[in-house]
Amino acid sequence: MSGIDEETVRERQSRVARAGGKWEEYVRLYLTEREDLKKAGIDIIYGKSENRIKERSEILWKMLSIPLMASPYYESVWGDIDLVAVKGRDLPIAVISCKVSLHGRFTETLFWSLLFRTLSRIKVVLATPDGGRGRENLWVSEWGTPENPTKDRLLAESYLDGVYVENVPEFCKGIRPGQGTVFGGIVRPLEELPADLIRWGEEVSKFIHLRKELRNFY
């Protein structure tokens, strides 16, 4: 194992410890410690607390709220938001769903993703370890391969903007040395997420700037 690999293992182990064994916090720490995201002015914040988001920015809260069409009493609801990538103070770039396993909650992520993609330009991605879908002590990737995808991979290709995987042993109990997720297409390593967030942030900023110019023109 090279020195770089050893350093990576040490960093991951330290992050797991600092995250208290919580996958969502592991992802947040990984992203907030990235210098390229800091230079791009991108914050990674918790998204579960609607009130905390509203305290940060009324604009951000409105952009992340899901409007209701039929309720006479409520104008909006708050979605299943684990983390949010925000450029500046109030420009949401992506909702980052953090799931340790696809069992049970993946369809929920797909549902909210479909709503966000229909109503806004906000990206929705999944950050996850590959917990496997085989029997106990028999790890089989939850994602299959690009050539032989599982149903979950096919659904992700249609309804998510990205799936980012990091197979940390503490979160992948059944995985053995030599086993791993087959990347390609929608399924990519977690280390590629920061570059995508930066690119999406630039795209959204240009779009908003263009809208302002058009509004001023007319």
CATH number of the structural domain spanning residue 145:
3.40.91
End-to-end CA distance of the chain: 61
Range of the domain at 31: 3-217
CA dihedral 170, 176, 177, 180 (to 10 degrees): -80
pTM of this prediction exceeds 0.75: yes
Residues of the chain scoring pLDDT < 50: 1-4, 209-218
d(CA 100, CA 102): 7
Our count of domains for the chain comes to: 1
Residue 4: the pLDDT is: 40
Residue 7: the pLDDT is: 54
